[in-house]
Amino acid sequence: MSRRKTGPRRRPPAPAPTVTAASPCPCGLDAAYGACCGRFHGGTDAAPTAELLMRSRYSAFVVGDAAYLLRTWAPGTRPDTLDLDPGMRWTGLEIGAATEGSAFHQRGTVTFRASYVHGGEPGSLHERSRFARHDGAWVYVDGDFLDD
């Protein structure tokens, strides 16, 4: 998922939820964070499919792991720096259609809807993201916003 452009902040940022290794994984899979996206964030494993990379990037937004977001971004489209908006609280992820992106593919797309609350206002981001392999590992390339 890309950075979301936000307007001026008028309210103090909401406190980030504390996610521990034993917490339910923010990505929505029925697993603890430490056994799910946490192992990708920690660098002990690489996401084997584009969908799992997508989920782990969403979880990285939730836990504020900008370094993971940058290192799983294709070099050609990666921003130099990434400032996560502390006023953004991601509240849920739904994965829609996915194409290719398996252990046997070099590219893939994943359509998702990510829900959030920003400045007290709920919203959602509906995007089709493109993924590719870089040095064997899945990386995020770019995405198209979809109409609701």
Taking alpha carbons only, the member of 69, 117, 71 closest to residue 91 is 117
The secondary structure element, H or E, covering residue 115 is strand 107-118
Q: How many binding residues for Zn ion (CB under 5 A)?
A: 6
Distance (Å, rounded) from C-alpha 38 to C-alpha 5? 27
Asked if 25 is part of the footprint of Zn ion (rule: CB under 5 A), the reply reads yes
Considering the complex, state which of residue 108 and residue 119 has its C-beta at the smaller distance from Zn ion.
108
Structure tokens at 51: 């969908």
Q: Is 60 exposed, middle or buried (0-12, 13-18, 19+ CB in 10 A)?
A: buried
* Identified binder of Zn ion from the candidate list 19, 36, 54, 69, rule CB under 5 A: 36
Asked if 93 is part of the footprint of Zn ion (rule: CB under 5 A), the reply reads no
Compose the 52-91 pattern: x for residues touching Zn ion by CB under 5 A, - for all others. Answer: ---x------------------------------------
CB of 31 to Zn ion, least distance (A): 6
What is the contact surface with Zn ion in residues (CB under 5 A)?
25, 27, 29, 36-37, 55
